[in-house]
Amino acid sequence: MKRFISPRTLAGTLLFGVIPSAAHAQNADPAGSGPIVAALSWLQGTLLGNVATAVAVMAVAAVGFMMLTGRLNWRFGATVIIGVFILFGAASIVAGIQGVAGGA
């Protein structure tokens, strides 16, 4: 005798399989990704640390000096300033994109 699954059980099973909350529960890094995560953390620290801050200050100072002497290519000046904002605002920009996309 064949036993059929009731439509209610089938709908509940399908609904449970579609809910994304189970995927969000996995906050741990995947197996074997320790060196990759460490390398990316080092890169992030380098790009947003003291070295990057010093380089950004020198770039903005160079743009200011060029403005002072009247030799500024405005496109270059805008590129430097926008680049500094993007570099140091990268974490906020990504968080905003993830918030709009529905990820957290």
pLDDT tens digits, 58-75 = 999 999 899 889 888 888
Q: Give the residue extent of every domain in the chain.
A: 44-104
Distance CA(66)–CA(60), nearest Å, equals 10
Q: Tell me, what's the pLDDT at 43?
A: 86
pLDDT tens digits, 48-61 = 888 888 988 999 99
Q: Which amino acid is at 70?
A: G
pLDDT tens digits, 1-23 = 556 566 665 455 544 454 554 44
Listed residue (67, 87, 85) closest to 76, CA to CA: 67
Q: Tell me, what's the pLDDT at 46?
A: 82
